[in-house]
Amino acid sequence: MKLNEFKTINEKTKRKRICRGIGSGKGKTGGRGMKGQKSRTGVSINGFEGGQMPLHMRMPKHGFKSKSKLRKIILKTDFINQLLEKKLISDKAKLDISQIVNFSKSNKNSYVKFLFGKKLDKAVSIQAHAVSASALKEFKRVGGEVDIIKFKKQPSTKANETKKKTLTEKKVSDDSKKKIVKEKLDAKTVKKTMQTEKKIEPLNTKKSKVGPKSSKNKPLNKT
């Protein structure tokens, strides 16, 4: 091996220039061969399996926007100062999570967290799912309170409505079934009573016929 044949470790191979004459080694067709679909431009055969479902479509999908994922609302102390300036809340006000969510115009099922931004002007007590240490100090400095609550996902109103509808429909169907069963039982009892009355009537007539037979056996009083 000669000195000029040594290669450095980080040396990159040069890109082969195509279609630069016969002497370049990749002239004329430029390494694409003679004619055919693959020699043309604008053809993407990679991944095509002759009509069979290709591998990239057979593999399971992943990476999506989860509906069950927490929707975080990160608010700063500036948010409360803005509410006080707009006179939406008064001094020494107590804000629930529902009120904070309404003021921030966010979704009901959202995780509320407060951070420190600017110094508070007035004492305001709040409810939140999480509060930073600096924000908590700021609320206490002014004379406010912070109530940390566990996050609970509220069911949607549509789901509640559908559940109520299904329950009411089930109750109505059960009541109607009970009524039908009662009506059938009443009809059966009426039929039974009618049948017993019909059976008793001929017995009474037979007893009435027995009366004159007994009178024949008795001696007649001749005058």
Q: What is the pLDDT of residues 28-40, one digit of tens each?
A: 999 999 999 889 9
Question: Counting Cβ atoms within 10 Å, is residue 123 exposed (0-12), middle (13-18) or buried (19+)?
Answer: middle
In angstroms, the first-to-last Cα distance of the chain is 173
State the pLDDT at residue 203: 47
220 pLDDT higher than 60: no
| pLDDT tens digits along 10-64 | 767 788 889 999 888 899 999 999 999 889 988 888 888 889 999 989 999 887 7
- Side-chain-side CA neighbours of 156 within 13 Å: the count stands at 6
Residue 137: is its pLDDT beyond 60? yes
How crowded is the C-beta side of 129, counted as CA atoms within 13 Å? 19
**Confidence grade of residue 101 (pLDDT, cut at 50, 70, 90):** confident
pLDDT of 103 strictly over 70: yes
List beta partners, residue 128.
Answer: 148
**How far apart (Å, rounded) are the C-alpha atoms in residues 191 and 195?**
6
Q: What is the pLDDT of residue 115?
A: 92
pLDDT at 200: 59
DSSP 29: T
pTM above 0.85, yes or no: no
What is the pLDDT at residue 72? 84
Residue 76 burial (10 A CB sphere; 0-12, 13-18, 19+): middle
**Under 8 Å between Cβ of 95 and 126:** yes
Please state the rounded mean pLDDT for residues 78-107.
Answer: 86
Question: Over the chain, what is the mean pLDDT?
Answer: 80
Q: What is the largest CA-CA distance in the chain?
A: 175
| Overall CATH class of domain 71-148 | alpha beta
Predicted confidence at residue 5, as pLDDT, reads: 81
> Does pLDDT of 160 surpass 70?
no
Residue 148, number of CB atoms within 10 A of its CB: 12
Q: What is the pLDDT of residue 59?
A: 92
Q: How far, in Å, are 108, 135, 171, 172 from residue 164 at the CA level?
A: 21, 42, 11, 12
As to burial, measured by CB atoms within 10 angstroms (0-12 exposed, 13-18 middle, 19+ buried), residue 126 is: buried
